[in-house]
Amino acid sequence: VYSLDGLLVFGLLLVCTCAYLRKVPRLRAWLLSEKRGVWGLFYKAAVIGTRLHVAVAVSCVLMAFYVLVVK
């Protein structure tokens, strides 16, 4: 997380993980029920991941290519 590409990878993983956890009913009620505060960050990341799923998926593929090939 000390560089820009590490921060981008962390953000993409957070968005993808929260969007996946939103599909699990028990975890959704437990983890993603708060819309404010620190736990609200996970809720907002899940909303971004589900609404912009195409853009997030393309970003993940591009970041994977960058990490594996370019870096």
Residues 31-61: tens digit of each pLDDT: 778 888 888 898 899 999 999 999 999 999 9
Q: Which two tokens stand for residue 7?
A: 């921060």
User: Can you give the pTM of this predicted structure?
Assistant: 0.83
Pick the closest to residue 32 from 18, 17, 15 (CA basis).
Answer: 18
Burial degree of 1 (CB within 10 A; 0-12, 13-18, 19+)? exposed
